[in-house]
Structure formats: structure tokens, C-alpha cells
A and B are shown apart, each in its own frame.
Chain A
Amino acid sequence: MTTSEIHDRLKARFGDDIGVPPETKGEPWLPVKRERIVEVCRFLKETPGLDFDFCEDLTAVDWPKRNVIEVVIHLLSYQHKHALKLKVDTDRAAAEMPSLEGVWKTANWFEREVYDLFGVTFTGHPDLRRIMLPDDWVGFPLRKDYAEQGGWHGITNERENPLVELKRLDDVARAEQAKNAPPPPPPPAAPAPAAPPAAPSTPKA
């Protein structure tokens, strides 16, 4: 089934909560109202003929200009070999949407990742914790306005150029070498091989 056929079926069932597929030359998608997303997804999964049994991907894109974080859901049906892309807009300031964990179990980890990196809260999620970053990390790195925190528990994320460090080590080693090196042999040592009888009288360096 193509996206527009699926759109017609969804439209018949959910009315205006399904947006119009935007005019695009690329891959089509369907905008879905945030409040109905769980019902829509359950319908997509359970309706014969649609059978979207595989939640391929759930991720997000931050759009500060529109002031939304767009949650993008890729679905695939193993049976009919058709794919569908849904998009749900959430407000950037209070990013929140219902969890799809009850529909596809795989959404559990995907949602944790989106929560971790974008700060979207999934209501009804059984175990919404950070997944990649430490629990006490500040900020959501994949947001466009994320500012680095300058370190975490004394581990700095600023590092000087390794070449500078190498040069310093080199300089230290060279100074050390110069200090430990034997002092240059006194001038009388130079003619020593030329005059063997004089050798015993030469003071040892």
C-alpha cells in the first residue's frame, strides 16, 4: 500500500487528527496529532491489510525555528512489505508525547534514547531513564541549542592540542638530556689518542 492509500484509510477512521501528507518530492509522511498517536499506531498495527508489525525506528528532529521537536516513527510491515513514516510535533519547551511502548515493545528503548538525547518525555513509559548518558547529565545533546557543560565530575571535555603536549614533552626530555649529559670533554682530551704517552696523565672526565 502506498502512503496515500494508507492516509485514506486513516482519514476514514480518525478524521482530522491525521494531517494532510505534505507535498514533497522525496519520501512521503503523515503528520499525526499527538493526542491520538497511540490509537493510530494500534490501528496501524492491528488492522488486517495494514499490519505494521515492525516499528523500525523512532527518533526525533529538533526544529528551533518552528519551535517543535518532531518525533519521527518509521513503520514497516513484514507481511505486505510496505513502509510508513509518521511525524508527531511536540512543543520544544514542554516536549511530551504518549509512549508507544504498549504497541511495540521495541519503542521502549527508542523512546529512552529520544528522551536522553532530545528531552522528550514519553508519558506512560514504564522505565524512562537516560540510556546513553549518565543519569546526572545536564542538557539534551541532540537539541540544536545544546551547549556543552565544560566537563562532568572533574572530567574535562576541553583538551589542548596533542601536538602542543607532545612538544612540551619533547622539550622536557631535551632539557633532561642536556642536564644529564656528560660535560664536554676538556680540550686536552682531544689530542690524547694522538699522543699515547701523555694519556696516563690525562685526568678522567
Chain B
Amino acid sequence: MEKLILRRIDRNNEEMVLNFGPQHPSTHGVINFIVETDGEVLKKAVPDVGYLHRSIEKIGEGTGYPGFMPFTDRVDYVAAMFPNEGYAIAVERLMKIEVPRRAQYLRAISCELARIASHLVSLGTMAMDIGAFTPMLHGIRERETINDLIEALCGARLTYNYHRIGGVAYDLPEGWKEKTLAFLDHFDKFLVEFDRLISFNEIYIRRLAHVAVITGKDAIDFGLVGPNLRGSGVDWDVRRDLPYGAYEDFDFEIPVGKGFRGEVGDCYDRYYCRVLEMGQSSKIVRQALLQIPEGEIMAAKVPRNMKPEAGEALSRVESARGEMAFYVVSDGTNKAYRVRARTGSFTAMGIIEKASAGLMIADLVALIASLDVVAPEIDR
């Protein structure tokens, strides 16, 4: 267990190897970074992941197709709607099930609410990591309202298990639409307040601007996705570029980093892309609620015991942490032959070793927070 020993390499300078984690509050879960520093400056930080590996992919081979749905929640429990949706779409492609339009709208509504909730946690804790405590409370306060709304929708506040293969589990409760629209009105005002509180705070900007710059080329090469990719100036969003579900019907913009306060691809760009994305998500939810068609919420004739033909399917959804792909292989029986979840956090961790070289230790915290990694999503 060499990595657990804190040791000095050389008495003459300040080089040290130390463990940052796995129980460090700013690693966002159980991740260990083996950090080589020279005084306060990092030589590199090597992530050591796997503490939360629960072999979800193996479990997927043992449960039936519908039975795996609650497990997908645990792939990313900060925004559990997205793995739900990704898995559901993959199996629907295998089974050739057409999802009713209303269900697709409900999926979009629930997912965008989950995206807002996830970004609120991410941005709040990011501010807390940097040293500002109050924005976290503001973020969690708004998220609480979203949790209440989602609880009214599907009965759960964290692991939603709302989507089903072929549709969604429940229709909108009575009065939910009005409540949500009222919340969105409030939320748009909150975003202005949040910007004034933290985004345009001089100290905060100085902590993030020009820190840990990731170029667009590197971002693509290392497979960054979602806000991390867009923060580096790459204009790509699965919702717009490879549309799925109801997203073709909505009018929204994709915020792309352009050096809002520093340069393209720094921590502030990644941060501010998320703030702007919350506004766009709010716009999508509003449109979806106003346009939602009447109809069924589950496809007709979805068998309980699913036996898709032998074959395979890949689904891509734009999760809060970027592109999430579910690759499901069927061998014709009622259990999946292979389930694979490709998640954004996993690839985001891969770039830390490169991006952390030369940073200050305090900036490593900013880098990790700005990549918005969620430990269970890395390990699965």
C-alpha cells in the first residue's frame, strides 16, 4: 500500500507525494488523487478511481431488461433521469418500440429539471470548494423546489426511476404544470441573482479565469463531453446535433465557451457554460409544458418479459455531465448479454493528469470542481 504513505522525496527541495482524498471534501465523492508537488505547485495529480465501483454493468447482465432500470439511477445519482433515459432508449431501439409523443415530452421535461438540479449542486459545491459558502445554500434551496416537483411527479427525490422502456411511469399530477411554470418564473429571476451573487464576483472570477486551460483540440482528444467540451469552445450538443426524443420541437441555444472573463477553456468558461445552460433548460421546460400533446404515456403492447432479437443498440443522450451512451447487446434471451454505460465523468478524469501539471494545489480543486465529476458515474 505504497500510495498511502506520505513521503518526502528529497530533503533539499519541497517535493512531496501525497494523497488528496479519498475522503477529501472537495473531491466530490470518493476519489483519490496521488499528488506530486513541489511546494505549492503541482508536478502532476494522478487520479486513482474505483472506490465506488459497484459493477453495475455486470448487474445489467443478470437482471431482466425492465429490472435494470432502478440500477441505472445509481450510475449518476445527482442527475438520475439521464441514465434512465439512455438505457430506456437503447432497449427501445433493440425492441423497436415507438415511444408516444407525450412520453417523450415528459422525458424532456423531467430531464431538463434534473439538469437544472444537477447544475445547481455542481455550481454550488464548486463555489464552496473555491471558498464561498453562501452560493451552495442558494443552489441547494432552489434544487429543493425541483426535488419537490420531481417527487410529486414520480415519488422519488434522488433516484427517480421514472422512465420506463416504452415511455414513462406516471403522467403529470394535477396542478403540476402551473406549479412548475411558477417555479420557472422564479428561477429565471434567481439566475440573475445568482450571477450577481457569485458569477460576477471579482474574487471568484480571479480564482477561475485563466486557470487550468483545456484547449478545444485536447478536449476532443481526451473525450471530454458536455459542458466541459463546450467550455473549451467546441460547439456540440447531442440534443441539437443528433436529436433524440422531443428535442427537435424546442427552440434553445447551446452556450459555448468564448472566454467570458478569461480565455477559452479555462475553469470560468466551464463554470459559466453551466450557468447559461440552466437558463436554456428552463426555456425548454417552459416550451415543453406549454406544447405538451395529449395522449398515452406508455407505448402499447410493451411485454413484461422482454426478449429482443439478437442484436445491439447504442443510445446517446446529453446528460448533465455530457454525452452518456448506453450500449446494450442482446442475444435473444430475456436478459441483456452486455450493458455498457459510457459516462462523461470517466473521460473527464482522464484529462486531469495532463491538465493539472503546473497548477497550484488550490487550483486543482477548481479544476476538479469545474469538470463536475461525480464519483459514482466514474466508477459505475
Tell me if B158 counts as interface (CB < 8 A to partner A): no
Q: Given contacts A54-B220, A109-B346, are A24 and B311 in contact (CB under 8 A)? A: yes
Interface 9-residue window, one of A6-14, A100-108, A193-201? A100-108
Q: Which residues of B contact A55 (CB under 8 A)?
A: 223
* Binary B-proximity of A82-98 (CB < 8 A = 1, otherwise 0): 00010000000000000
* Binary B-proximity of A6-30 (CB < 8 A = 1, otherwise 0): 0000000000000000001111000
Q: Is the CB of B314 within 8 A of A27?
A: yes
Q: Is the CB of A141 within 8 A of B58?
A: yes
From A59, A85, A117, residue with most partner B Cβ within 10 Å: A59
Which one of B325, B338, B346 contacts A74 once the chains associate, using CB atoms below 8 Å?
Answer: B325
Which one of B220, B313, B323, B349 contacts A109 once the chains associate, using CB atoms below 8 Å?
Answer: B349
User: Quick one: closest A residue to B350, CB to CB?
Assistant: A109
User: Quick one: closest B residue to A85, CB to CB?
Assistant: B314
Q: Give the interface residue-count category, chain B.
A: 35 or more
Which residues from 24 to 68 on chain A have a C-beta closer than 8 Å to any C-beta of chain B?
A: 24-27, 53-57, 59, 61-62
Tell me if A175 counts as interface (CB < 8 A to partner B): no
Q: Which residues of A contact B311 (CB under 8 A)?
A: 24-27
Which residues from 305 to 326 on chain B have a C-beta closer than 8 Å to any C-beta of chain A?
A: 309, 311-314, 323, 325
- How far does the Cβ of B266 sit from chain A's closest Cβ, in whole Å? 20
From B218, B220, B309, residue with most partner A Cβ within 10 Å: B220
Q: Is the CB of A142 within 8 A of B221?
A: no
Interface 9-residue window, one of B49-57, B81-89, B254-262, B282-290? B49-57
Tell me if B362 counts as interface (CB < 8 A to partner A): no
C-alpha gap A131/B31 in the complex (Å): 12
Which one of A72, A106, A133 contacts B50 once the chains associate, using CB atoms below 8 Å?
Answer: A133
Q: Is the CB of A105 within 8 A of B222?
A: yes
Interface 9-residue window, one of B107-115, B116-124, B167-175, B234-242? B234-242
User: Quick one: closest B residue to A26, CB to CB?
Assistant: B311
User: Quick one: closest A residue to B94, CB to CB?
Assistant: A26
Tell me if A178 counts as interface (CB < 8 A to partner B): no
The 10 nearest A-B residue pairs measured at CB: A106-B223, A26-B311, A132-B50, A109-B350, A132-B53, A57-B342, A105-B221, A61-B338, A59-B340, A105-B222
Interface residues of B, Cβ cutoff 8 Å to A: 49-50, 53, 55, 57-58, 93-94, 218, 220-223, 234, 236, 241-242, 309, 311-314, 323, 325, 327, 329, 337-338, 340, 342, 346-347, 349-351, 354, 379
12 A-B pairs within 8 Å (CB atoms) are namely A25-B309, A25-B311, A26-B312, A53-B221, A57-B327, A57-B342, A59-B342, A62-B338, A106-B222, A106-B223, A106-B350, A113-B346
